[in-house]
């Protein structure tokens, strides 16, 4: 993501941080209606936080709760860490997961005030291979509407997001690339990454 994100990229960061989950697990019993209901629920929660009053700190806390509610945070964090997760100790993975959760919540949650008056509209869902695709339209003030596509599959019997595309951009890979770049700057030092994530954004 750019150093100075636009309102569009920041909103999409909020969505993507909720939508990232393991793509490797197989889909189970679900249908287009249940996939759409899941997207309806998360979009309703995002829209509510955007419209609610309160301080930035309060909005960040609300956003973190949404993140935890709808996403498999440990799996998301492990994917974001990439191949380096294999060499991390159990304690490092646990610490990174918590730091990543707070980092994402703080990074995007504090930008909610910029989206007052904006909405995300859920359109339709369809089955694609062994997962479901749910299309939405994002409406931000001063910008033309644009498409955001969520990919949904079952995880342990419950539907979860595993990826999304924003005008063709794969956000799962984008987040992984960003964390990878941060780790590279620290010469692969996972403990240093964890420490800096706690202070970042």
Q: Which residue ranges make up each domain of the chain?
A: 7-199
The DSSP symbol for 26 reads P
Q: Are strands 158-166 and 169-170 parallel, antiparallel or unpaired?
A: antiparallel
pLDDT of residue 110: 67
- pLDDT (tens, 9 = 90+) of the chain, 201 residues, equals 444 456 566 666 666 666 554 343 444 468 899 889 988 998 888 888 877 777 778 878 888 888 777 777 787 788 889 999 999 999 999 999 999 888 887 877 766 666 667 788 899 999 998 889 999 998 887 888 888 888 887 765 677 777 778 888 887 788 789 999 999 999 999 999 999 998 876
In angstroms, what CA-CA distances link 124 with 5, 45, 47, 136, 143? Answer: 28, 18, 18, 7, 22
Question: What stretches of 50-94 adopt beta strand conformation (E)?
Answer: none
The three-state secondary structure class of 173 is helix
Output the DSSP codes for 105-154: HHHHHTTGGGGTT-EEEEEEEEEETTEEEEEEEEE-TTS--EEEEEEEEE
Predicted TM-score of the model (pTM) = 0.71
pLDDT of residue 22: 37
- Written as six digits, the tokens of 77 are 């964090």
Beta-bridge partner residues of 164: 150
pLDDT of residue 103: 85
pLDDT of residue 9: 66
Class of 7-199 per CATH?
alpha beta
Q: pLDDT per residue over 39-97, tens digit each?
A: 899 888 888 887 777 777 887 888 888 877 777 778 778 888 999 999 999 999 999 99
Place of tokens 């990878």: 180
Residues 6+ apart with CB under 8 A from 168: none
């Amino acid at each position: 993501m750019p150093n100075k994100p636009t309102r569009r990229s920041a909103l999409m960061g909020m969505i993507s941080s909720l939508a990232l989950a393991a793509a490797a697990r197989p889909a189970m019993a679900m249908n287009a209606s249940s996939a759409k209901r899941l997207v309806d629920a998360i979009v309703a929660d995002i829209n509510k936080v955007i419209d609610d009053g309160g301080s930035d700190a309060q909005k960040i806390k609300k956003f973190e709760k949404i993140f935890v509610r709808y996403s498999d945070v440990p799996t998301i964090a492990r994917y974001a860490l990439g191949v380096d997760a294999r060499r991390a100790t159990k304690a490092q993975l646990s610490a990174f997961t918590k730091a990543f959760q707070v980092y994402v919540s703080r990074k995007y949650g504090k930008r909610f005030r910029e989206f007052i008056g904006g909405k995300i509209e859920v359109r339709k869902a369809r089955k694609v291979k062994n997962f479901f695709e749910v299309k939405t339209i994002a409406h931000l003030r001063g910008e033309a509407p644009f498409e955001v596509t969520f990919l949904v599959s079952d995880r342990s019997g419950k539907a979860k997001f595993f990826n999304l595309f924003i005008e063709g951009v794969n956000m799962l890979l984008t987040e992984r690339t960003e964390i990878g770049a941060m780790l590279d700057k620290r010469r692969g030092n996972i403990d240093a990454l964890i420490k800096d994530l706690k202070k970042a954004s």
